Structure 1
Amino acid sequence: MTEGTSPYVSPARVTVLGVQPGDPPFRIVEIDGEVVSTARSMTDVIFTAAALGITIHDLDDPGEVRWVGGSKFHWRAP
């Protein structure tokens, strides 16, 4: 396999990990590879990023936010 066929990995500064069980369920938010908070909604992700000086213009842009274990609409534990 050559580098030209390697899968693309998003350079997003914000990563939202999969849903964690809890009451209510939550997702862990990483910025620049460090865990910074938990989120219970899309707005929590936006506010967390803004508090750290990152403006998110498009939650669907994989260059801005990387969603792991479900999309921006996935907030319930399996």
Structure 2
Amino acid sequence: MTEGSTPHISPARITVRGVQPGKPPFRIVEVDGQFVGRAKSMTDVLLIAAEAGIQIHDLDDLDVVRWVGGGKFTWTPH
């Protein structure tokens, strides 16, 4: 395998996991691989990051936030 065919894995400090069922549904947020909270919206992700001392200027920047199981607009289970 060559470097050119290696998939890009984001070094993002923040990972937002897939939607979990609940009332309301939520997504698990990790910072540096550690669980730090549950987000019910994009605003929650920003607040959790700020509490961890991380400023997010662009939720689409894969070097800052890694979205797993759906993007920033996915907040309901499929």
The TM-score range, normalised by the shorter chain, is over 0.9
d(CA) in 2 for partners of 1:4 and 1:46? Answer: 33
SS in 1 for 2:49: helix
- State the AA in 1 paired with 2:40: R
Post-superposition CA distance 1:11-41 (Å, at most 9, x none):
1100000000000000000000111100000
Identity %: 65
Aligned to 1:47: 47
Residue equivalent to 1:57:
57
State how far apart, in whole Å, the 2-side matches of 1:77 and 1:8 are: 26
Aligned residue-pair number: 78
**Which TM-score applies when normalising by structure 2?**
0.96
Per the TM alignment, residue 4 of structure 1 is displaced from its structure 2 partner at its CA by: 3.3
| Structure 1 unmatched runs, 5+ | none
Superposed structure 1 runs of 4+ greater than 2 Å apart? none
1:60-75 alignment runs, 5 A limit: 60-75=60-75
1:25 aligns to 2:25 (yes or no): yes
Report the Cα offset of residue 3 of structure 1: 3.1
Equivalents in 1 of 2:3, 2:60: separation in Å? 26
Q: TM-score w.r.t. structure 1 length?
A: 0.96
Q: Secondary structure at the match of 1:56?
A: coil
AA aligned to 2:21 is P
